[in-house]
């Protein structure tokens, strides 16, 4: 089989990182080879495996009565959620196992076909499992939080979310509500394992360019959510088909966009933990409000803001917003502050994207992003 030194010659980690000192020669670029041999798998084969992985994630939902929704059984029923979590966990373990075997058998770590095989540690690094990169995870989580500066202000200050956190209500909700557990923990973890850990290393083996990996593989991630259209039609038969289809197209758009962002972070940090944390945070925050006034949640009879509204369902909370707890329309300053922070956060995210996502555990070399990063830094005035 071709040597991994040949198949991954363009995929050396960042040269200044801690982990790069322990990586084998299989991930380094050897300029002496003018005509590298073909990769161990083709891009088409890699995409084929990705499609099979995606199908294995949601097709089992419709093979059993315990996971198959119906007009009388919602996907949000606790029994359905538990059964689906078991199903996707098995799918993730199987797909990750297949990718691990492919990584270990695709080639050797030496310069020739007779060199030593890829070690388990090297394979775990390509899977984003080792090292865990806790500091890098915190950095990209901070980066993503700047993009949500406005929504964080709206939730913590305007909607008095800080009071929820003082009581640890969001933490209790994750453990007590199956829908919240699915949206914040099980969903992000299993999706990132399948669509990043099990999928991206295959694209690296196929020597697919980072740009193609970032912008094309998330389409499969987005299409894996299209089955929600069928489930929505089952539980909302009175909603016009055109409106339901438009809802699914919109969901396909933003899930694909997030998939591109998560893939970028995975390549930059080499950490499953990092993309899981970002995914959970984005699910928790929901889509930012981009029009209308920002108002506090209505105060209920007991004087508290509705506690049973999920922390991870901020869009649902907004829909129930009224005129505030003091009986009058809240000040327009809340709205001004929100949109100012929304714009400022987007600018900060843009200016710090390359800085805060840089990691010594990256799965691609600095040169793969150097040209784009240089243009980016020049554009934002970073030395």
Q: Which residues are catalytic?
A: 191, 225
Cα separations in angstroms, 137 against 25, 110, 301, 350: 26, 32, 41, 18
- Residues paired with residue 70 on neighbouring β-strands, in sequence order: 73
Residue 6's contacts (CB-CB under 8 Å, 6 or more residues apart) are: 33, 36, 37, 107
Please say whether the beta carbons of 116 and 21 come within 8 A.
Answer: no
Q: What is the token pair recorded at 198?
A: 């099990």
**Distance, CA of 140 to CA of 193 (rounded, Å):** 18
- Residues paired with residue 299 on neighbouring β-strands, in sequence order: 305
Is omega for the bond preceding 131 within 30 degrees of 0, making it cis? yes
Residue 218's contacts (CB-CB under 8 Å, 6 or more residues apart) are: 195, 255, 256, 257, 258, 259, 260, 262, 263
């Amino acid at each position: 089989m071709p040597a991994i030194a040949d198949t991954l010659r363009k995929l050396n980690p960042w040269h200044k990182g801690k982990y790069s000192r322990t990586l084998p020669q299989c991930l380094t670029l050897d300029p002496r080879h003018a005509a590298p041999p073909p990769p161990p798998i083709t891009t088409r084969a890699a995409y084929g495996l990705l499609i099979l992985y995606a199908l294995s994630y949601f097709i089992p939902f419709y093979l059993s009565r315990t996971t198959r929704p119906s007009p009388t059984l919602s996907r949000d029923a606790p029994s359905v959620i538990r059964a689906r979590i078991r199903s996707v966990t098995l799918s993730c373990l199987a797909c990750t196992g297949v990718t691990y075997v492919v990584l270990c058998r695709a080639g050797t770590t030496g310069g020739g076909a007779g060199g030593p095989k890829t070690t388990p540690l090297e394979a775990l690094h390509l899977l984003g499992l080792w090292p865990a990169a806790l500091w890098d995870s915190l950095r990209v989580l901070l980066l993503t939080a700047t993009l949500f500066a406005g929504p964080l202000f709206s939730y913590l200050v305007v909607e008095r979310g800080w009071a929820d956190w003082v009581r640890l209500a969001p933490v209790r909700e994750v453990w007590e509500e199956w829908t919240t557990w699915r949206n914040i923990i099980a969903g992000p973890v299993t999706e990132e394992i399948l669509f990043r850990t099990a999928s991206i290393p295959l694209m690296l083996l196929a020597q697919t360019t980072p740009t193609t990996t970032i912008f094309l593989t998330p389409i499969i991630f987005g299409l894996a959510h299209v089955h929600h259209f069928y489930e929505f039609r089952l539980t909302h038969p009175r909603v016009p088909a055109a409106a339901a289809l438009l809802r699914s197209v919109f969901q396909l758009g933003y899930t694909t966009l997030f998939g591109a962002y998560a893939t970028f972070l995975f390549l930059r940090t080499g950490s499953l933990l990092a993309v899981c944390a970002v995914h959970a945070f984005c699910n928790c925050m929901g889509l930012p409000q981009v029009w209308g006034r920002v108002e506090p949640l209505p105060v209920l009879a007991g004087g508290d803001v509705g506690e049973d509204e999920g922390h991870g369902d901020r869009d649902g909370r907004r829909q129930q917003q009224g005129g505030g707890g003091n009986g009058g329309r809240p000040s327009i300053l809340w709205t001004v502050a929100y949109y100012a922070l929304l714009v400022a956060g987007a600018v900060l995210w843009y200016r710090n994207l390359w800085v805060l996502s840089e990691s010594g555990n990256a799965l691609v070399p600095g040169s793969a992003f150097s040209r784009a990063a240089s243009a980016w830094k020049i554009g934002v005035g970073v030395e």
